[in-house]
Structure formats: structure tokens, C-alpha cells
Amino acid sequence: MISKIVKVEELINKIALLRKSGKQVVFTNGCFDIMHAGHVRYLTEARSKGEILVVGLNSDKSIKLIKEKNRPIIPQDQRAEVLAGLWCVDYVVFFDEPDPLRLIQAIKPDTIVKGKDWDEDKIIGAGFVKADGGKVVRIAVVPDISTSAIIEKIIKMYC
């Protein structure tokens, strides 16, 4: 399972070999701070868009740049281990920047997947992937399930 958690350089080499055998690489990204059913459904559907699913995981440093001050709740190594434990996830790779553009440019996925709550023109890397002959797929999100809603519920229950 831990072998699914890779550094960018290692991932680039693995993808090159996979592409030689005709595999289609799908990329998605996120914080995946408190895993829930919405995440699992999303990742399962993302995996169905190709043969290899790479998840770009916001590092703790990245999350501190884009989320509330108390996030992440779960440290990056634990979040990566949970993701790597899912059958549908082939590789997990961290990124420290606020967005995954440099990572996307490095691995050059065939397909990039995000939730339908993202307009295509706002999806980081969409233009790059499409210009390289790839495609962008938007997946329906599960209503009423989110990490923020879970955190709010916990706070209401215990604070």
C-alpha cells in the first residue's frame, strides 16, 4: 500500500512505463482531510475514466495556504495512507503549492477529473491537459456530504 505513495520523479517514470503498455492515466486532486462516502464515490468514478488513477494530495503546507487556520485535521501522511488503501487509487503524490498545476504539467495525464461543482474554465490544469490532447471530466458530487459539513456538525455537537 505504501508503495502507492510516490514522489513526483518516481511517478513520472512509472507513468512512462504504463503509457508504453497503452494505459490511460487519470488525475484528480484534493485535500481529502476527513474521508467520507462522497470522496470514495468520487474517486471510484474518477478511476472508471481510465486505467490508472493518480491522486494529487495537497500537503499540509498546501492546505495551510488555502483553507481555514485549523486545517488540516488529519496529517498528510495519514491522509495519503487512507487514499492508498482504496482499490481505485493507484498512486498518491503530494504537492506543496496552492494548486496542482506544476504537478499536472509534470505527469501529463490523459484525463483530469474534478467535481461538477467546478466550472471547467476554473479547473486548474484543464487548459494544459486539453492542449496536450487530453480531456476534462466533471463528476457529480454527492449532495450534503462534505468535510466542512462534518467539521461543523462535530463543533455543534461538542462545543
Which has the closest alpha carbon to 54: 97, 95, 22, 115? 95
Average of per-residue pLDDT across 112-139:
95
Please count the structural domains in the chain.
Answer: 1
Compare 70 and 31 and report the one with higher pLDDT.
31
Handedness of CA 114, 89, 8, 133 (dihedral sign): negative
The overall average pLDDT reported for the chain is: 93
CATH of the domain at 105: 3.40.50.620
For 16-67, write each residue's pLDDT tens digit: 999 999 999 999 999 999 999 999 999 999 999 999 999 999 999 999 999 8
pTM attached to this predicted model: 0.93
Asked whether 56 and 100 are in contact (CB, 8 A), the reply is: yes
Asked whether 52 and 22 are in contact (CB, 8 A), the reply is: no
Rounded-to-integer distance, Cα 26 and Cα 143, Å: 24
Phi and psi, residue 123, nearest 5°: -75, 120
Which grid cell sits at 159?
Answer: 462545543
Residue 111: the pLDDT is 98
pLDDT level of residue 141 (50, 70, 90 thresholds): confident
pLDDT more than 90, % of the chain: 81
Q: In what order do the strands lie in the sheet with 25-30?
A: 91-95, 52-58, 25-30, 111-115, 135-139
Domain enclosing residue 131, as ranges: 2-158
pLDDT level of residue 154 (50, 70, 90 thresholds): confident
Q: Mapping DSSP to helix (H, G, I), strand (E, B) and coil, where does residue 150 land?
A: helix
Residue 70: the pLDDT is 83
